[in-house]
Amino acid sequence: MASLERSNRHESSGLDSCRVYVTKPFLPPLEEFIPYLKNIWDSRVLTNRGNFHSALEEQLSKYLGVKYISLCSSGTIGLLIAFKALGIKGEVITTPYSFIATAHSLLWSNLTPIFVDIDPLTLNIDSNKIEAAITNKTSAILPVHCYGTPCDVDKIQEIADRYGLKVVYDAAHAFGVKCHCGSILNHGDFSVLSFHATKVFNTLEGGAIISGDLETKSMIDQLLNFGFENETSVLSLGLNGKMNEFNAAFGLLQLNSIDDLIKKRASIDKLYRQQIASIEGISCAQFSTALSHNFSYFPVFVEADYPLRRDQLYDILIGHNIFTRKYFFPLITSFPMYKHYSTASAANLPVASDVAHKVLCLPIFPELPISTVVKICKIIAQPLNSNGYLIS
């Protein structure tokens, strides 16, 4: 422990620029954004469905292979709007292994989260355990395509149909992911994307709601704009969830490089897998079953036969200026607003509890140098010398 502290103090005194974080948002060259800004300055249209907004909706629906998309100000707002549009009440079945916004969106909507354990391979909600959690108060299922790995969409839809439930996918990780039947985003009643700065495709802040038909999209657009039908009539209890022209313009520019950015992520993913294969006690998440994956995260698991515990490895990597993240630890169910739910107990969620204690997300982003990936893997392979002290 003493050596661990010394290592941290020694190494973290380096310049901030040497630090490697779990992600680093890609920014196109600044001069390429200037013409977009000039356009906004000239038109004075800053928000409320301007030209950039319409263009981004059109281009994204083509790129993603979805019918109707509504841009919004964040993924979290998108989830709230989706629940409002469906009018769901009572209990909603969801996963504890996700970012806090998944469950928060339910509480904000006065819905009761019912937590169901995850599948140990996909890390998504275990579709075999959903039925047992259904009661006469259940109105919907809120699964997450965790790390961009597709949920068992067919099984989930079959259950939803049989019990008359709605399905809203938290697709914050699933930009561009395709499965056997095209875009993964075409499943359920709605899929909600996040375009937050840390996501694969970003508009600084932002998100989108995918609808299956035009009528539903119109309802969503109305809810995102205070419920206005037109200048003088308000038809629904909407809020302000609009995306503005700056975010939309940034998204349009970002979309030009997205294929290249995902390709770079794919090669980093491949290199990590090659390097980690020979490290005893460290395992990688299974390779995604998606036909087209986005390589948004690179989670590894610190198993019992690794010489250190997950938190020790996390600290050692910080000592080398490598800032990994414990995504998703703690589980959503351990936070104060959730822990009193009967389905939040560790006994109900053995797989999620186990995974949360051993997971570490390694840095992955398009500009991550190959040499840094190799260095990270070297540190993980040999964190200690023969006397049991840290190598630093």
Footprint of ligand PLP (CB under 6 A):
74-76, 98-99, 101-102, 144, 170, 172-173, 194, 196, 207
Q: Are 193 and 168 in contact (CB under 8 A)?
A: no
Min dist. Cβ of residue 297 to ligand PLP (A): 9
Looking at the Cβ atoms of 173 and 178, the one nearer to ligand PLP is: 173
Angstrom distance (rounded) from CA 31 to CA 7: 41
Min dist. Cβ of residue 353 to ligand PLP (A): 18
Min dist. Cβ of residue 77 to ligand PLP (A): 7
Residue whose CB is nearest to ligand PLP in the complex, by number = 75
Looking at the Cβ atoms of 96 and 383, the one nearer to ligand PLP is: 96
List Cβ neighbours of 209 (8 Å cut-off, separation of 6 or more).
69, 70, 72, 78, 81, 82, 190, 191, 192, 193, 220
Min dist. Cβ of residue 149 to ligand PLP (A): 12
Min dist. Cβ of residue 82 to ligand PLP (A): 12
Angstrom distance (rounded) from CA 68 to CA 215: 10
Min dist. Cβ of residue 237 to ligand PLP (A): 20
Looking at the Cβ atoms of 202 and 216, the one nearer to ligand PLP is: 202
Looking at the Cβ atoms of 76 and 183, the one nearer to ligand PLP is: 76
Nearest alpha carbon to residue 202 among 245, 251, 242: 251
Looking at the Cβ atoms of 170 and 221, the one nearer to ligand PLP is: 170
- What's the half-sphere exposure (Cβ side, CA atoms, 13 Å) at 292? 15
Q: Are 281 and 82 in contact (CB under 8 A)?
A: no
Looking at the Cβ atoms of 140 and 377, the one nearer to ligand PLP is: 140
Min dist. Cβ of residue 359 to ligand PLP (A): 14
List Cβ neighbours of 128 (8 Å cut-off, separation of 6 or more).
155
Q: Count of CB atoms within 10 A of residue 59's CB?
A: 15
Q: Count of CB atoms within 10 A of residue 175's CB?
A: 25
CA 250 from chain centre, in angstroms, equals 20
Looking at the Cβ atoms of 148 and 383, the one nearer to ligand PLP is: 148
Nearest alpha carbon to residue 300 among 355, 350, 255: 355
